[in-house]
Amino acid sequence: MTSSLRKPKVLLSRGSSHPAVEPTSRGVKLVGWLLGFSAALVGVRFPEALAALPSPSTILIFLALGVAVLCLQREDMPRLRANIFDLVFLGYIILLSFVEIYNALDVPHDIATGAITTQLILWVSTWPARLVIRNQRDFRALLLGIALPAVFVSALAIAQMLRIEAVSDWIATNVNAGGLESRLEAGRTDIRATSTIGHWTALGGYLAVAGTLLCTELILRASDAVKRSGLWLTIAILIVFVAAVATLTFSTIAVLAVALLVTFLKLGARITWVVLGGAAGLVGWSVFGAEVAGRLDAQSVVSKQTADELQWLPSTVAYRVRIWQNETIPALEQRPLTGWGQEVYNFPSWTQFPTSLSWVSPESQWLGLAMRGGVIVMLAYVIVLILIFVVLHRSRAALGGGYIVVITMLLALIATGLINSPFSTNGVPQILWPALGAIMAASHLRALPEVTFPPVRTASLPVVHKGRR
């Protein structure tokens, strides 16, 4: 079957036998950076004078879409069609909308239009990459553009935890960070990094995905015919990991740590990794060691409110179980099929709400989906997640050795959904969905075979495919 996406030509560098790949297609890098910063700035808000505008993140997504449309060529038109993922995800949004309207009329409460438009914008964010990616090099350049702004986000997170006043003040003024604001107002000193994402858990999830994308490029680069240094990529990955530690969210730290471990196993024990990893560990512990130790101590203390049968659990898990038993499950039993509404955890502003609720978070991805949209919406979202794995499987050739790293990261995120909500916060979806767009575009690409040429001076030569002359 002939692919509708073009394979890049392999060129000979003048006076060299080493092949070089043609430049990326027009607009690819710009689209990647726009999508990358749309995810990186998801928590940033405009000044009050511009509050009527869409968020900076939303504007950047539509700018990326506009650039992608302007870069379209005639031969691109045959591949501009919806696929099964589009149909299922749009079906999920329609179902979510109908359930929300029903809940709004039945409970009653206002329709949470923001929750619906957020899902639509996430779907739109998958399209810019699909419009501009034409070959393997485009795919890698765009994924790198999506991931690299995480270094900027990480630098701010580290500076925030170092208590650099200018950075902390800027974040407090320009970022929607409700949890951080409440801690600052209460005079608490146990501050956790939020950076431009807005919440420590959301930041941890964002960094886990970004770090995984950087690891994927590092693995692909190691298998290139023309070897390039991965030193700067390694440094970027370690900066992202240090920032993840600064969130003090152990579930998302573990996700990124597992992705790094798989990458290490794929690449083998390299002296660069060992030296830089050891240095990053020493620096990270010297800076954040006290906070990490304090967080571990706090989670190991058994609360007096913890029931006897739960005292064997870590404190952070035990209090979640208590919330599920006393609040979430009783509320779900009242409305299991459709839940209560997308804004159920803003219940203090409702006239009628689940009387069992007192904590403003479900502390679980799956229970949160059920609370907001019932079992119907939860099962529909599970189908969406299954389709993501299908997309990844179809693109495994383009992802190369990075395929297993991405799969591992996604499985780990789903596992953390037992005790937090990675797919319902402003972190993971905003970077994962644009990356999925790139991966969907790459599902028609085949990994380029390694090509060698004799040492001659010539013009461009086509890719030599195995089994062809």
Structure tokens at 298: 């706090």
Percent of the chain with pLDDT over 70: 84
- Among 139, 27, 111, smallest CA distance to 72 is for 27
My answer on whether omega of the bond before 108 falls inside 30° of 0, hence cis, is yes
Q: Check residue 466 and give its pLDDT.
A: 46
Q: Please name every residue paired with 10 in a beta bridge, in sequence order, or none if there are none.
A: 21, 461
Rounded distance, CA 403 to CA 139, Å?
A: 14
Q: Check residue 133 and give its pLDDT.
A: 92
Q: Check residue 458 and give its pLDDT.
A: 42
Q: What phi and psi, each to the nearest 5 degrees, are found at residue 245?
A: -65, -35
What are the pLDDT digits (tens) for 311-332? 777 777 888 888 999 999 999 9
Q: Check residue 64 and give its pLDDT.
A: 98
Structure tokens at 221: 């680069």
What are the pLDDT digits (tens) for 263-307? 988 887 677 777 777 777 777 777 777 777 777 777 766 666 666
Q: Check residue 297 and give its pLDDT.
A: 72
What are the pLDDT digits (tens) for 66-75? 999 998 887 7
For residues 342-368, give the mean pLDDT.
Answer: 88
The residue ranges of every structural domain in the chain are 11-444
* Crossing angle of the two packed helices 113-124 and 84-106, in degrees rounded to 10: 170
For residues 235-254, give the mean pLDDT.
Answer: 92
What are the pLDDT digits (tens) for 77-118? 766 778 899 999 999 999 999 999 999 999 999 999 999 999
Rounded distance, CA 385 to CA 85, Å?
A: 10
